Chain A
Amino acid sequence: MNETRSGQRDPDGPVWYQIRLKGHLASRWSAWFGGLTLTREDGGTTLIEGAVIDQSELHGLLQRIRDTGLPLVSLTSAETCGSHQPAAAPPD
Chain B
Amino acid sequence: MLGPLLGTKLYLPRRKEGMVARDRLVQRLERGAAEKLLLVSAPAGFGKTTLLTDWLSGAPFAAGRARRAAWLSLDRSDNDPRVFWTYVVAALHSVEAGAGRSEPQLVALDQPPTQVLLTALLNDLGSTGDDIVLILDDYHVIDAPEIHDGIAFLLDHMPPRLHVVISSRADPAIPLARLRARGELVEVRAANLRFTPDEAAAYLNGTMGLQLTHADVAALDARTEGWIAALQLAALSIQGRDDAARYIAGFTGDDRYIVDYLVEEVLQRLPADVREFVLHVSLLDRFNSSLCAAVTGSDTAKATLDTLEQANLFLVSLDDRREWYRYHHLFADMLRSRLTQESPAVAAQIHRRASDWYAANGEPAQAVEHAMAGGHLARAADLIELAIPQMRRDRQEAALRRWCEALPLELLRARPVLSNSFAGALLSTGETRGVDGHLLNAERWLDPTVARRESVASGAQLMVVVDEDEFRRVPAGVAVHRAGLALFLGDPAGTVSHARRAMDLLEEGDELGRGAATALIALASWGSGDLETARDAYTKTLVSMERAGHIADILGCSIALADIQITQGRLRDAMRTYQRALLLATSGGGPPLRGTPDMYVGMSAIHREGNDIEGATELLARSRELGEHVGLPQNPYRWRVAMARVREAEADLDGAAGLLDEAEGVYVGDFSPNVRPVAAMRARIHIKLGRIADASDWARGQQLSTADDLSYLREYDHITLARALLARCAIQPTAERLDVATSLLGRLLDAAEAGGRTGSAIELLILQAQAFAMKGSAAAALVPLERALLLAEPEGYVRAFVDGGSSISSLLSLALKRGIAGDYVGDLLAAFGPIPQPVPARQAPIHPLSERELQILRLLGGDLGGPEIARQLVVSLNTVRTHTKSIYSKLGVNDRRAAVRRGEELGLMSWTRDRPGRSSARGE
Contacts and interface: CB of A to CB of B under 8 A. Distances in A.
A85 B44 CA distance: 36
A44 B340 contact: no
Nearest to A28: B341
B402 to A, nearest CB: 15
B858 to A, nearest CB: 43
Contact of B257 (A23, A31, A66): A23
Contacts, number: 55
Interface string A30-42: 1110000000000
A68 B257 contact: yes
A70 interface: yes
Contact of B341 (A24, A29, A66): A29
Contacts of B342: 28
Interface string A14-35: 0000000001111011111000
Contacts of B257: 23-26, 29, 46, 68, 70
Contacts of A26: 256-257, 260
**Residue among A30, A31, A46, A69 facing the most chain B CB atoms (10 A cut-off):** A69
A66 B255 contact: no
Interface residues of A, number: 17
A10 B771 CA distance: 68
A69 B255 contact: no
A29 B169 CA distance: 21
Interface in B215-255: 227, 229, 254-255
Interface string B136-151: 0000100000000000
Interface residues of B, number: 25
Interface string A57-73: 00000000011111000
B341 A31 contact: yes
A38 to B, nearest CB: 11
Interface in B17-73: 43-46
Interface in B306-365: 329-330, 333, 337-338, 340-342, 344
Given A25-B260, A69-B44, A44 B255 contact: yes
Interface in B625-683: none
A90 B254 CA distance: 27
A69 B341 contact: no
Nearest to A22: B255
A44 B256 CA distance: 8
A68 B329 CA distance: 10
A25 B334 CA distance: 12
Given A32-B337, A66-B169, A69-B227, A24 B43 contact: no
B109 interface: no
A31 B339 CA distance: 11
Contacts of A32: 337, 340-341
Contacts of B254: 24
A66 B170 contact: yes
8 contacts: A23-B256, A26-B256, A28-B338, A32-B337, A66-B44, A67-B330, A69-B43, A69-B46
10 closest A-B pairs by beta carbon, nearest first, are: A44-B255, A69-B43, A32-B337, A69-B44, A31-B341, A24-B255, A23-B257, A28-B341, A24-B256, A25-B257
Given A28-B338, A46-B257, 17 more contacts: A23-B257, A23-B258, A24-B255, A28-B341, A31-B340, A31-B341, A32-B337, A32-B340, A45-B255, A67-B329, A67-B330, A68-B257, A68-B259, A68-B260, A69-B44, A69-B45, A69-B330
